[in-house]
Amino acid sequence: MFAHIFTARLKCLLRDRGLVFWTLLFPILLALFFKMGFSNLNTADSFRPIPVAVVNDAQYRRNAPFRQALQSASEGKGRLFTLTVTTKGNADELLKENKIYGYLTAGSPVEVTVRSAGYEQSILKSFADSYLQTYSAASYLIGKNPAAAAGLAESLQSRRDFTESLPSGGGASDNTTLYFYSLVAMACLYGSFWGMKEVVDIQADLSQRAARVNVAPVHKMKVFFSGVTAVFLVNFAEILVLLVFLRFALGIGFGGKTGLVVLTALVGTVTGIFFGSFVGAAVKAGEGAKVGILIGLSMLGSALAGMMYEGIKYVIQQHAPLLGYLNPVNLVADAFYCLYSFSGYGRYALDLTILAGFILFFGAGTYLIIRRQSYASL
Amino acid sequence: MVIQVKNLVKRYGDLVALDHLSFDVAEGEIFGLLGPNGSGKTTAINCILSLLSYDKGSVEIFGKPMRPDAYDIKRDIGVVMQNVAVFDELTVCENIDYFCGLYVPEKARRKKLVEEAISFVGLENFRSFYPKKLSGGLLRRLNIACGTAHRPKLIILDEPTVAVDPQSRNNILEGIQNLNREGATVVYTSHYMEEVEQICSRIVILDKGRVIADGTKEELKDMISLGEKITVETSLVTPEQIAALRVLPGIASAEFNDKTLVVKSEKGKSGLEEVLDFLRKQNIAFGRIYSELPTLNDVFLEITGKELRD
Which residue of chain B has the CA closest to A222?
A: B102
Out of A106-120, A143-157, B118-132, B177-191, pick the least confident: A143-157
The C-alpha atoms of residue B23 and residue A227 are separated, in whole angstroms, by 38
Residue A162: its pLDDT value, please?
Answer: 61
Whether A277 and A198 have beta carbons less than 8 Å apart is answered as: yes
A19 pLDDT more than 60: yes
> A234 falls in which pLDDT band (50, 70, 90)?
very high
Q: What does the pLDDT average to over A92-112?
A: 89
| Percentage of chain A modeled with pLDDT above 90 | 34
Contact across the interface for B72 and A8, Cβ inside 8 Å: no
What is the per-residue DSSP string for B112-172? HHHHHHHHHTT-GGGTT--GGGS-HHHHHHHHHHHHHTT--SEEEEESTTTT--HHHHHHH
Residues in chain B within 8 Å Cβ distance of A378 = 46, 51-52
The phi and psi torsions of B255 (rounded to 5 degrees) equal -145, 145
Q: Angle formed by the axes of helices A177-189 and A26-38, to 10°?
A: 170
**Domains observed in chain A:** 12-41+175-370 (no CATH), 49-157 (3.40.190)
Report for A116-130, A139-153, A247-261, B125-139: range of highest mean pLDDT: B125-139
CA atoms lying within 13 Å on the CB side of residue A315: 8
For A172-188, how does the pLDDT look when each residue is reduced to its tens digit (9 = 90+)?
Answer: 556 678 888 888 999 99
Predicted local distance difference test score (pLDDT) of residue B4 = 94
Mean pLDDT of the A201-220 span: 88
Residues of A with CB under 8 A from a CB of B: 1, 4-5, 8, 11-13, 15-16, 204, 207-209, 211-219, 373-378
More confident residue, A289 or A313: A289
Of B99, B133, B125, B131, which Cα lies nearest the Cα of B113?
B99
Note the pLDDT tens digit of each residue in B30-44: 999 988 888 899 999
Let me know the angle formed at the C-alpha of B76 by B72 and B81, rounded to the nearest 5 degrees.
Answer: 115
Q: Could you tell me if A194 and A13 are in contact, meaning their C-beta atoms sit under 8 angstroms apart? A: yes
E strands along chain A, which residues?
50-55, 81-86, 102-105, 111-114
Q: What is the layout of strands, in order, in the sheet containing A50-55? A: A81-86, A50-55, A102-105, A111-114
Q: Is the pLDDT of residue A373 over 70?
A: no
- The answer to whether the CB of A181 falls within 8 A of the CB of A236 is no
Instruction: Compute the average pLDDT of residues B5-18.
Output: 92
Residue A157 has pLDDT above 80, yes or no: no
Q: What is the C-alpha separation between B8 and B4, in angstroms, rounded? A: 10
Kindly report, residue by residue over B184-200, the tens digit of the pLDDT. 999 999 888 888 888 99
> A10 and A234 in contact (C-beta within 8 Å)?
yes
What pLDDT, on the 0 to 100 scale, is given for residue B236? 85
Angle at B72 between CA B70 and CA B74, to 5 degrees: 70
Question: What is the DSSP code string of B96-127?
Answer: HHHHHHTT---HHHHHHHHHHHHHHTT-GGGT
Look at residue A172 in the predicted model and tell me its pLDDT.
57
Q: Which helix (H) or strand (E) holds B80?
A: strand B77-80
Give the closest-approach CA distance of A1 to chain B in angstroms.
6
Residues A208, A211, A216: CA angle, nearest 5 degrees: 135
ipTM: 0.80
Cis preceding-peptide flag for A27 (omega within 30 of 0): no
What's the farthest any 2 CA atoms get from each other in chain A?
A: 101
Closest CA to A213 of A205, A202, A221: A202
Each residue's pLDDT tens digit, B267-298: 777 788 888 888 888 888 888 998 888 888 88
Mean pLDDT of A209-216: 90
Burial class (CB in 10 A: 0-12, 13-18, 19+), B124: exposed
Q: Which amino acid is at A208?
A: Q
Nearest to B85 among A209, A219, A378 (CB): A209
Query: Which pLDDT does position B175 carry in this prediction?
Result: 86
Using a 10 angstrom Cβ sphere, with 0-12 exposed, 13-18 middle and 19 or more buried, the burial of residue A86 is middle
- List CB contacts (< 8 A) between B50 and chain A: 373-374
The verdict on a CB contact (< 8 Å) between A212 and B53 is no
Q: What is the pLDDT of residue B135?
A: 86
Longest dimension (CA), chain B: 76
CA distance A270 to chain B (A): 24
CA separation for the pair B166, B170 (Å, rounded): 6
pLDDT of res. A325? 87
pLDDT at B99: 94
pLDDT cut 90: percent of chain B above it: 50
pLDDT at A153 over 80: no
Whole-angstrom Cα distance, residue B111 to residue B103?
13
- Say whether pTM exceeds 0.90: no
pLDDT at residue number A161 = 57
Domains within chain B, CATH numbers bracketed: 3-221 (3.40.50.300), 225-293 (3.30.70.980)
With a pLDDT cut of 70, the percent of chain A lying above it is 90
Interchain contact, A214 vs B89, CB within 8 Å: no
Q: What is the pLDDT of residues B216-239, one digit of tens each?
A: 888 888 777 777 889 999 988 899
pLDDT digits (tens, 9 = 90+) for A311-354: 787 888 888 888 888 999 999 999 998 888 887 888 899 999 99
Among candidates A236, A185, A233, A50, which has minimal Cα distance to A125? A50
Nearest by CB: B103 against A8, A16, A217: A217
**Quick one: what percent of chain B has pLDDT higher than 70?**
99
